[in-house]
Structure 1
Amino acid sequence: MAQLQTALLLNEKFGQYTVDQRPVPTPGPGDVLIEVYAASLNGIDNFIQRFGAFVETYPTVAGHEGVGIVRVLGDGVSNVREGDRVLFQCWFEADRGTYQQYSLAAAERIVRLPDSLSFDEAATLPVSFTTAAVGLYAPKSKHGGAALTPFWEEGGMGKYADQPIVILGGSSCVGQLAIQLAKLSGFNPIISTTSRRNSEYVKRAGATHIIDYHETPYSALKDEIVKITTMPLKIVYDAVSNEDTQKTAWEILAPNGSLIVLLPPADGLFGEEKEDGKRKILIFGNVNDPEHETSGFGRIVAQNLERLLAEGAIRPTAVEVLPNGLLGIQEGLNRLATGRGVSMPSPGFLFDCARIQHIPSPYTPSQVRSYLSRIGWPSIPDATGDRKKEDKNVVEFDANLANLQLLVYLHVITFPMDNSDLHYTKEHFMAVRPEPLYRRMVLERKGSYCFGQNGLLLGMLRGLGYRVYPVAGRVIEGPKQEYTAQLHLVLLVQPHRIPHELITYAVDVGFGGTGPVRPILLADGGTEECQHLAAGASDEWRGGWVWGSSPPERHRIVRGSYPASSLETSSSDHTAPRRDWHMQFAHTPLGKQPEWRTLYTFSEAEFFQQDIDAGSHVVSTCPGLFLDKLVNMRRFKVTVHEFKSAMANAESDEMDEADSDSVLKALDDLEGVRWMGKWTLDGSKATKRIGSFKLQEIEIENERQRVQTLREVFGLELKDGDEKWIQGRPAALPVRSA
């Protein structure tokens, strides 16, 4: 065996993790050397790095739990053999951390794994199982528990039948194991809080009743529990343990009951019985805790976990495998620190759980107010409301999701998709820098294509106080769905405040045609969980899909990969890593399985102004793109009455009677949704549609008629004589009628 190994080292208190070499430790009496195959991330590792807790000797190796294969036995070890697959917990010593290739562990407190359990699944169990077991069964002491009779002792299995228990946070790793142990002890009902998207997951663990904390705030939990049981609650296990949950848990706890928490109580008091016998218990779930080592409880927990796994009586929790080995650990710890667990990732977060900064806007508050006036914002803030934010003037504005949705709607019905400056001006140039873009769109009342549309909105959102940045997209073209270069622009916005400030939405006002017209939660709409609400969100934070301009048009984003990628994952099929988002649309009639088609892909890498300049130059000068065609599309507001009138008086080439009935039902059911119609200019024909219903068509014979149509129908302020600048270009029509 090699004398050196690769490890993730923390060289000093409050330092940064670095990958380096360190010696392979030698097991002493009672220890074994384990080759680490997988290590679970734990919040304690953040406490070590960020707060200097638990560790005094540096450099050190963190990592609190792991799985692997026993390679070397220390003296006196007889309960395991070399080659055994095991899970184990560590203590706060460099030789016993799991963020390295080889780690030491106490042989009497490791657990042999059945062949049916993978390393990845088993890695979710050491700390979670121990924390659940200590909380419920450990004797009363400093790091002890509620002192219930363990199910593994004689008379313990099912002992607490017909006694209720409440477990807050049932979808967490500890919550999952606490539910399973409560079931073995016979508790009934087992009441757990979780989100709607995780309800089935929690029921599979053994919960009999689910309370959705989105619909029932913790302040109203007591009233909801009374509907389920009136029996006194002697055990409440708080696997969330924030201030709100601890307060509620204490209120619902019966006299002489035990509240089990994972984080220090807000009042700092635990382990002491109150006058009514109620007791708060702060758990430290490690079989190597000196208290559990001395009492033998740690060894007993390990022995019983081994038996339960062999019998298939315990289910591992959901697991997410992070890429990049030791190099991926810091990213995972960052996610844990911001409240986004690794095993059950919440929709709506950027890849590395990043927070978008407040970036100064290129526009003055006066220009931002002019923009709001141009799009018809209901109430324009005056200059007295301007305030300082991040040392920059920002218009006084409530930068939230509801206002973002309205801004996007007003923007797309105000500014047409338009590349007329490329054809009807002497310069044949599309402005995409902030100042000329403002002049063209806000003052001269023209439109733009993606780089201009989203570029203008980017600056205005920053001027209104939103945290937003631009990313690049690849448009998918042709029947073969071919990927173009990065010639599209998309915005990513974080419109919420603490504690949900990392929830992110994709916004695109510049695709035109079948492009999206509403913010979309940055979540994989192809997964079942995103058909429900995002974790920690209100009812308006919906993943899955959003409506397009008019029903049945819908949009969603899904995780995907670039087919020509040079990268591959470590999975058996060697597929490319899914690092891109795919924007998709469906026009499938409602009530039928949607047929999704990809419009474009985008990544989360930031696109800067120089990138926008370069992309715009390419699309406006290369043959086959905007150089060869005039692009114009204008959306307009449509009421439900106007939509129904169009359906009654116009024909659709896409819908039969049953499909139309489903759209009518959607219009009636979706009160408050803002719908849109479209005017499109395709060469020598302008067409007005609401959905797939054609209302009007204008045939255009020459450039003078086309300029007139652009002025009167599309709202562009072109001048008489501008048609001369398009002559000789591929997109030109005849100068006059033949």
Structure 2
Amino acid sequence: MAPERAKYTDAQLEAYLERIAYSPADKSMPNLVEEARARIQNYPLEILSELQKLHLATIPWGNSSLHYSQHHTISLHPDSLYEKMVERRLDGYCMESTGLFFTVLRSLGYHVYATGGRVSPATSSGIDTGLFASLGHMILIVIIDDARYMVDVGFGINCATAPLPLQEGATATCIAPSEMRLVKETPIEFIDKSQKIWIYQTRKNPESPWLPGICFSEVEFLPQDFEAMNFSVSQRRTSWFTHQFVCVRMIMDPASKEIIGQCIISGKEAKKRIGGETQTLQVLENEQDRVHALAKYFGVHLRKHEIEGIRGFVSELK
């Protein structure tokens, strides 16, 4: 008999919903979890979209554990993810943040599974070569009324900000004026040209070219698959995650409840990007500056021994 997948308790779900500032529509319900489950029964897609946006606006995407720790490793155990991002209120990179969201959605009653994706170099270079990196990303597929939706909360500045139906060419606003869509194509490296997979694309505005972000299939991946992927991404010497520190949090408009921008730490800058315009918030001269910026702009509070863990690393600011 296959082992049962982990689920969070109602007490853990309550803490998670408080963490992401979930606001109940029916305040007469005894707790947030019961209210959320009731709404999900009637409006599953709408609540899924709401939870995704709140998660993105609250839980930063970043790789602090690979730089600010004594162990420089990442665990994907559901309880480790919960302790790190809910109780400690720290950041998490793709398989951490999406892994947490995966267990939350399952625990709330969604029909959801995870699959693996390959990231395109175009996300950093801005040039589409048609190539993709090795498997190193987690994507969720949520099934609602027999329709399937791609859901992602772990792709940094290029992350989808709403569930995308697995329908070719369906275009939606990502962070205005940028747009996102899914297309089905055959990667140029495939030998069997009859095989087509989903490609998540974004563009800066309606006049800009589409650039690939992730390619993925609908095949379900198992926890042991992500363990192998996580080890590669977090420990391989050629992985940029191991030698560059980054942190991103989406900015939500309190009135419209839409994602309107991003707060970013990259290199020696903390910056804010809204409506395609970028503003430098702070120049980071040293580790003290960056640690303070993490606390001020991201709510990430590191402990002394975690801060000391970056000493001697290439990512240390001196």
TM norm. shorter chain > 0.5: yes
Q: Residue type matched to 1:398 in 2?
A: I
- Following superposition, the deviation at residue 385 of structure 1 comes to 7.7
Residue 713, structure 1, aligned to residue 297, structure 2: yes
Number of equivalent positions: 304
TM-superposed deviation, 1:587: 1.1
Q: Does 1:580 align with 2:197?
A: yes
- 1:405 & 1:586 partners in 2: Cα distance? 21
Distance change in 2, residues 1:607/1:627 (3 Å): same
Structure 1 pair 632–565 and aligned structure 2 pair: CA distance change class (3 A): same
Question: How far apart are 1:676 and its partner, in Å?
Answer: 2.2
Does the 8 Å contact 2:131/2:188 carry over to 1? no
- Pairing 1:74-153 to 2, within 5 Å after superposition: none
Contact map agreement 2:131 2:189 (CA 8 A) in 1: no
Is the contact made by 1:704 and 1:723 (CA closer than 8 Å) also made in structure 2?
no
**Structure 1 partner of 2:243:** 628
- Rg (Cα) greater in structure: 1
Q: Is the 8 A contact 1:385 1:395 kept in 2?
A: yes
* Contact kept in structure 1, 2:6 and 2:78, CA below 8 Å: no
The structure 1 residue matched to 2:59, chosen from 393, 396, 415, is 415
Alignment of 1:496-511 (within 5 A): 501-511=145-155
**RMSD over equivalenced CA pairs, Å:** 2.3
Contact persistence 2:161–2:259 (CA under 8 A) = no
Say whether 1:485 aligns with 2:99. no
Alignment correspondent of 1:602: 216
Task: Tell me the amino acid that sits aligned with residue 565 of structure 1.
Answer: F
The alignment partner of 2:104 has SS state of helix
1:485-523 CA distance string (max 9 Å, x none): 11011000013xxxxx21111001100112211100100
Counterpart position of 1:615: 229
Is 1:548 the equivalent of 2:162? no
**Partner of residue 32, structure 1:** none
Q: Distance in 2 between matches of 1:484 and 1:384?
A: 40
1:406 to 35, 38, 50: 50
Q: Aligned to 2:157, what secondary structure does the other structure show? A: coil
Amino acid in the other structure paired with 2:197: D
Write the mapping of 1:347-366 to structure 2, written as runs, cut at 5 A: 361-366=6-11
Note the alpha carbon deviations across 1:503-551, whole angstroms, 9 max, x for none.
Answer: 11100110011221110010001xxxxxxxxxxxxxxxxxx111112x2
Q: Distance in 2 between matches of 1:367 and 1:403?
A: 19
Aligned pair 1:559/2:184, yes or no? yes
Distance 1:719 1:726 in 2: 12
Secondary structure of the structure 2 residue equivalent to 1:636: strand
- Contact 1:422–1:430 under 8 Å retained in 2: yes
> What runs of 5+ residues in structure 2 fail to find an aligned partner?
none
Aligned-pair CA distance for 1:714? 1.5
**Cα deviation code 1:135-157 (max 9, x no counterpart):** xxxxxxxxxxxxxxxxxxxxxxx
- Is the contact between residue 475 and residue 483 of structure 1 (CA under 8 Å) also seen in structure 2? yes
Q: Percent identity?
A: 30
How far does residue 695 in structure 1 lie from its aligned partner after superposition? 3.0
Q: Which residue in 2 is equivalent to 1:176? A: none
Q: Which amino acid aligns with 1:493?
A: V
One-letter identity of the residue aligned with 1:423 = H
Of 257, 269, 276, 1:692 maps to 276
2:190 partner letter = S
Q: Does 1:439 align with 2:67?
A: no
- Conservation of the 8 A alpha-carbon contact between 2:250 and 2:263: yes
Q: What CA distance in whole angstroms lies between the structure 2 residues aligned with 1:419 and 1:450? A: 9
User: What is the distance in 1 between the residues matched to 2:46 and 2:305?
Assistant: 43
SS in 1 for 2:288: helix
Deviation at 1:634, TM superposition (A): 1.2
Q: Which range moved further: 502-511 or 617-626?
A: 617-626
What CA distance in whole angstroms lies between the structure 1 residues aligned with 2:8 and 2:33?
A: 16
SS at match of 1:398: helix
Q: Does the 8 A contact of 1:559 with 1:578 survive in 2?
A: no
**SS in structure 2 at match of 1:406:** helix
1:384 CA displacement = 11
Tell me the amino acid that sits aligned with residue 172 of structure 2. V
Runs (5+) with no aligned partner, structure 1: 1-358, 387-393, 496-500, 526-543, 568-575, 641-671
Q: Which one has more relative contact order, counting CA pairs under 8 Å at least 6 apart?
A: 2
What's 2:103 paired with? 459
When normalised by structure 2's length, the TM-score is: 0.89
1:321-400 equivalences under 5 Å are 361-379=6-24, 382=30, 396-399=38-41, 400=44
In the alignment, what sits opposite 2:263?
679
Aligned mates of 1:419, 1:384 — CA distance in 2: 30
Q: 1:613–1:382: structure 2 CA closer, same or farther, 3 Å change rule? A: farther
Distance apart, 1:481 and its partner CA:
4.6
Displacement of 1:675 in angstroms is 3.0
CA distance in 1, matches of 2:245, 2:32: 43
Secondary structure of the 2:103 match is helix
In 2, are the aligned partners of 1:584 and 1:598 still within 8 Å (CA)? yes
Deviation, 1:431, is 2.4
2:161 to 493, 500, 517: 517
Cα distance in 2 for residues equivalent to 1:455 and 1:505:
16
Q: 1-side partners of 2:187 and 2:280: how far apart?
A: 40
Are residues 1:428 and 2:91 paired? Answer: no
Report the secondary structure of 1:624's partner residue: coil
Q: Deviations over 1:294-350 (max 9, x none)?
A: xxxxxxxxxxxxxxxxxxxxxxxxxxxxxxxxxxxxxxxxxxxxxxxxxxxxxxxxx
Contact persistence 2:98–2:153 (CA under 8 A): yes
Shift of 1:362: 2.0
Whole-angstrom CA distance in 2 between matches of 1:459 and 1:522: 21
Q: 2 CA distance for matches of 1:404 and 1:487? A: 24
